[in-house]
Structure formats: C-alpha cells, structure tokens
Amino acid sequence: MEIWQTDSGMNSIAQEPPQTEVTAGTRQLLEGRQLPGFVAVEGPIGVGKTTLANKLAQTFGYPLLREPAAENPFLDRFYREGRRHALPTQLFFLLHRARQMADIRGGDLLGRTLVADFLMEKDELFARLTLDDAEFALYRQIQQSLAIEAPQPDLVIYLQAPTSVLLQRIRQRGIEFEQEISAEYLSTLINAYTEFFHFYNDAPLLVVNATEIDFAHNPGHFDALLAQILSMDGPRQYFNPHPQLI
C-alpha cells in the first residue's frame, strides 16, 4: 500500500515555534555566527525531519512552515481505502503547497527567516510514486498551470535512516493510520529520496545519517549537528556521527 509522508502538526502556515530553553552549549555555538536564512529539512517518514525542523526553528527563533498533511481531507480515505484516493490526495498537497509558496512571497517571510519541514520539489517525488501514468500526466498539467515560484533554501538538510529504523520509529510513535506502512513501501521511498538527492544541486546540501542520533532528547546530539550546520562550506557535506562519540 502506498502511503504519503505525514505530520502530526496543526496549521501548516508559517508560525512561531513553541519557545523552549536553549542550552548553554547551544548558545555558545550560536554566538557570533551567521545563520542560514531559509532552512529546509527533508527525509522519509519516521526519520525525524519534523522534530528537527521544530528544534531548529526554536533554536534560531525562526517561523516554522510545516507540511499540510493534517489538513488534507482525502488522506484518511487513502489510508482506509487505498489507491483510488491517490489523485485527490496528491492534488490537495500540490494546491496547498502552491498557496504556501504564494504566502511566503506575499508576506515577505524570506525577508526575515524560515525553517520548513519540506521541499516544494518533494511533491512531484511523491506524485511519481503514488499516481499511475494518466493521473501523473494530469497532475503535471495542473502543476505547470500553477507556475509555482518556490524560493530556494539557503540550506537543505537531508536525513537518512534504514528501513528497519523507520519502521521502529513509526511503530513507537503509534499514529494509527501510519501502522499500515510496509517495509516494502519504505524501501521504495528511501530509494526515491536517494536518487533525488544524488542529483540535487539547487542549494547547499547537508546529508545526515540519523540512524542512531536523537535530536529531540539529547542536547549533545543536536549540538553536534548544529556545529556541522554552522560550519557548512561548499555545495554538499556529510554528517555521519556515532552516538558514543558525540
């Protein structure tokens, strides 16, 4: 069964993140450093991209732009009944993201700062996975007619983890409709992301092995990633930490 990436968040329009205390170590890392203005976090379901996006928005004091999965009225039907709801589900995401991009430009959010937990280009990646040829042709016609002008991030963070880890995290967080996600689908999704980012060169890219690190609950893990973000130099870097060495 084909499953879309989901997010348990609320409104997907850019909003101020909840305020949490920044540790002394994090403050020291940030002191006197120039931060990227627009950061996008990507990766397959269960890898921790929304958790990291929230953490970065809180740390930087940036607005947060989230995926609109919670607002998609077709998504639950897709999980319950399968493929016949694929096209309306994907078109909802496309139209909603088009509105988000218009809101970004109209509100001049990028004149300030922003963290997003998705790339606009990801929409087509999922369309290719979930639609048949005729549906994808219709999707492309609508996509082209929208003429979406998506701003390019100053930094893209791509989180990776193997299928077994993603499945474990999905089971642990216990969202009911996610429990139908199969290992086969996750492997297909991982391969699609790997191919996409192999050729990606639109913005500086930080590829992170997120298999054994916990950004949400381990300040040392987050600070190690933050140090890597702040030291980015060049179009592509890799961060492959071992938790015992952080």
Task: Write the pLDDT tens digit of every residue in 74-119.
Answer: 877 776 777 788 899 999 999 998 888 887 776 555 556 899 999 9
Q: What's the token pair of residue 177?
A: 């409709």
**End-to-end CA, the chain:** 38
The confidence score (pLDDT) of residue 77 equals 79
Band of residue 52 on the pLDDT scale cut at 50, 70, 90:
very high
Band of residue 11 on the pLDDT scale cut at 50, 70, 90:
very low
The confidence score (pLDDT) of residue 192 equals 95
Query: In this predicted model, which residue has the larger pLDDT, 161 or 10?
Result: 161
**pLDDT, tens digit (0-9, with 9 covering 90-100), for 166-215:** 999 988 888 777 787 789 889 999 999 999 999 999 999 999 999 998 88
Rounded CA gap, 246 and 208, in Å? 14
Query: In this predicted model, which residue has the larger pLDDT, 114 or 14?
Result: 114
Options 3.90.1170.30, 3.60.21.10, 3.40.50.300, 3.30.460.20; CATH for 24-245 is 3.40.50.300
117 noted as active-site residue = yes
Out of 7, 76, 103, 117, pick the active-site residue: 117
The confidence score (pLDDT) of residue 21 equals 60
Beta-strand relationship, 205-209 and 114-116: unpaired
Query: In this predicted model, which residue has the larger pLDDT, 166 or 6?
Result: 166
Rounded CA gap, 113 and 130, in Å? 33
The confidence score (pLDDT) of residue 19 equals 52
Output the 3-class SS for 110-165: HHCCEEECCCCCHHHHHHHHHCCHHHHHHHHHHHHHHCCCCCCCCEEEEEECCHHH
Domain parsing of the chain, residue ranges: 24-245
**pLDDT, tens digit (0-9, with 9 covering 90-100), for 213-246:** 888 888 889 999 999 999 888 999 999 987 665 5
The confidence score (pLDDT) of residue 246 equals 59
pLDDT at residue 5 greater than cutoff 80: no
The confidence score (pLDDT) of residue 49 equals 92
Instruction: Give, as one character, the DSSP assignment of residue 101.
Output: H
